């Protein structure tokens, strides 16, 4: 009897199911299944076959959210900081280069032994001549990436990919007080979209750029503008690749993001850096108070920070092409801005673009 107790007690404890473990296992398995489905959709698109939109149900989104992506992203961040032995650097980075098609000839430092850890390699700088900044067009691409969508904002809804939208107000949050902005007060009865448009005859435009893991991970100022305010939304860190963006409505509103708002010569201008799986760390160079991917946060919360003060009544001036921030892997940048009705994008949905190339102009 004693021997029986000795062997069965630990067995009972070993096979005791806990809710956290069930959620992680189920959510992780489902996330893997979704990755496989995304791969199949990509293959169909490459063959020119149009894929019908199928949005995730609430339980599917909840199941995906059960994966501890924030915890995994922090763990990945720490792993990236581990210094690699000199002899191991070239094999590790070469595998990454081969997997994601990185062009190291553009890097300021091509020698792989120079990068002490994965984080330094991800955030590598480019040679100055590698990305010439277009001087002709008024708005340039702030980063390397793939154009997911662009165009006019209609009915307070923005397309993250074709046919899948999200709410403009949910994405940007409540309108910032006019004391912090240089805009005139819009009539209170107007819609959120109309309140952002400050000049008669202007329209609101948007552009979504997806950064793949092999892309250059820094982002720059897309035009000459002044940053007045930063709003940080803690949130989930779900994947933002085109397959998932096509599947989850309001994906960008679920995920952690940093919204920079201000104005340019035509009125309202904003740039939003959206976090993703393994990309909880978003850095804005001039904002030392920003800390992303904290261990805990309140659902639906956000925090504001104004760059306008008694000593600085204008905000942070940014020149077109100037360094603005960086991701630690790759993610998405969303531009939402006001411009005259004759503003035209020089883009095609799905095209690859590089930092410095033209997005559009008047």
pLDDT, one tens digit for every residue, the chain (362 residues)? 455 444 444 545 444 545 545 545 554 564 565 556 666 666 666 666 655 666 777 888 888 777 777 777 777 777 878 899 999 999 999 998 998 888 999 999 999 999 998 888 888 888 888 889 988 888 999 999 999 899 999 888 888 777 788 889 999 998 876 545 555 555 555 788 888 998 888 999 999 999 888 888 889 999 999 999 999 998 888 777 777 887 788 888 888 899 999 999 999 999 999 988 766 678 899 998 888 877 777 777 899 999 987 777 788 999 999 999 988 776 899 999 999 999 999 888 889 999 999 998 88
Q: Is residue 257 domain-resident? A: yes
Catalytic, out of 144, 215, 263, 287 = 144
Q: Is residue 336 within a helix (H) or strand (E), and if so which, with residue range?
A: strand 332-340
Question: What is residue 62's predicted lDDT score, i.e. its pLDDT?
Answer: 80
Decide: 290 and 281 in contact? Cβ < 8 Å. no
* Backbone dihedral angles phi then psi of residue 312, each to the nearest 5 degrees: -135, 95
Q: Is residue 314 domain-resident? A: yes
Judge if 227 and 304 occupy the same domain.
yes
Question: What is residue 82's predicted lDDT score, i.e. its pLDDT?
Answer: 86
Catalytic, out of 206, 220, 229, 266 = 220
Q: Is residue 79 domain-resident? A: yes
Judge if 217 and 265 occupy the same domain.
yes
Check if 224 is active-site: no
Q: Is residue 181 domain-resident? A: no
Q: Is residue 90 domain-resident? A: yes
Judge if 270 and 330 occupy the same domain.
yes
Judge if 270 and 157 occupy the same domain.
yes
List Cα–Cα distances, 101 to 46, 161, 223, in angstroms. 18, 24, 29
Question: What is residue 45's predicted lDDT score, i.e. its pLDDT?
Answer: 61
Judge if 105 and 204 occupy the same domain.
no
Judge if 232 and 342 occupy the same domain.
yes
Q: How far apart are CA 22 and CA 45, in angstroms?
A: 35
Closest CA to 143 of 325, 341, 275, 305: 325
The whole domain housing 87 covers 68-123
Judge if 217 and 86 occupy the same domain.
no
Judge if 106 and 236 occupy the same domain.
no
Q: Any residues with CB less than 8 A from the CB of 178 and at least 6 apart, and which?
A: 184, 185
Decide: 227 and 262 in contact? Cβ < 8 Å. yes
List Cα–Cα distances, 107 to 114, 215, 327, 356, in angstroms. 12, 11, 17, 16
Domain closes at, from 98, 123, 148: 123
Q: What is the DSSP letter of 216?
A: -
Phi-psi map region of 334: left, alpha, beta (phi>0 left; psi -120 to 50 alpha): beta
Question: What is residue 50's predicted lDDT score, i.e. its pLDDT?
Answer: 58
Q: Is residue 42 domain-resident? A: no
Q: Is residue 58 domain-resident? A: no
Judge if 101 and 164 occupy the same domain.
no
Residue for token pair 């997005």: 359
Q: How far apart are CA 227 and CA 308, in angstroms?
A: 9
Question: What is residue 250's predicted lDDT score, i.e. its pLDDT?
Answer: 81
Q: How far apart are CA 172 and CA 156, in angstroms?
A: 11
Check if 184 is active-site: no
Judge if 278 and 222 occupy the same domain.
yes
Judge if 162 and 105 occupy the same domain.
no
Task: State how far Cα 95 lies from the chain centre.
Answer: 25
Judge if 260 and 300 occupy the same domain.
yes
pTM: 0.80
Q: How far apart are CA 348 and CA 325, in angstroms?
A: 26
SS3 sequence, 135-178?
A: CCCCEECCCCEEEEEEEECECCEEEEECCEEEEHHHHHCCCCCH
Q: Is residue 118 domain-resident? A: yes
Domain count, the chain: 2
Check if 291 is active-site: no
β-strands 282-284, 323-327 pairing: antiparallel
């Amino acid at each position: 009897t004693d021997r029986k107790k000795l062997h069965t007690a630990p067995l009972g404890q070993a096979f005791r199911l806990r809710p956290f473990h069930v959620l992680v296992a189920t959510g992780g398995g489902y996330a893997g299944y979704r990755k496989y489905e995304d791969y199949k959709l990509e293959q169909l698109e490459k063959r020119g076959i149009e894929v019908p939109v199928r949005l995730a149900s609430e339980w599917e989104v909840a199941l995906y959210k059960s994966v501890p992506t924030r915890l995994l992203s922090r763990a990945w961040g720490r792993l990236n900081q581990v210094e690699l032995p000199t002899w191991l650097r070239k094999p590790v980075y070469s595998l990454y280069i081969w997997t994601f098609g990185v062009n190291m000839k553009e890097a300021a430092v091509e020698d792989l032994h120079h990068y002490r850890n994965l984080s330094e390699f991800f955030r590598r700088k480019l040679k100055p001549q590698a990305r010439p900044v277009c001087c002709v067009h008024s708005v340039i691409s702030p980063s390397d990436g793939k154009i997911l969508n662009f165009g006019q904002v209609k009915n307070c809804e923005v397309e993250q990919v074709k046919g899948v939208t999200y709410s403009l107000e949910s994405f940007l949050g409540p309108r910032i007080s006019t004391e912090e902005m240089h805009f005139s007060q819009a009539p209170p009865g107007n819609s959120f979209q109309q309140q952002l448009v400050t000049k008669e005859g202007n329209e609101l435009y948007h552009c979504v750029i997806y950064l793949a893991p092999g892309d250059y991970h820094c982002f720059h100022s897309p035009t000459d503008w002044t940053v007045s305010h930063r709003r940080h939304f803690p949130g989930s860190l779900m994947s933002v690749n085109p397959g998932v963006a096509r599947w989850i409505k309001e994906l960008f509103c679920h995920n952690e993001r940093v919204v920079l708002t201000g104005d340019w010569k035509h009125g309202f201008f904003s740039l939003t850096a959206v976090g993703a799986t393994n990309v909880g760390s978003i850095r804005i160079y001039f904002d030392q108070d920003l800390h992303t991917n904290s261990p805990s946060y309140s659902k639906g919360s956000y925090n504001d920070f104004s760059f306008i003060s008694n000593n600085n009544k204008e905000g942070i001036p940014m020149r077109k092409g100037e360094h603005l921030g960086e991701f630690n892997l790759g993610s998405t940048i969303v531009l939402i801005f006001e411009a005259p009705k004759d503003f035209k994008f020089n883009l095609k949905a799905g095209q690859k673009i590089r930092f410095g190339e033209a997005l559009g102009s008047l």
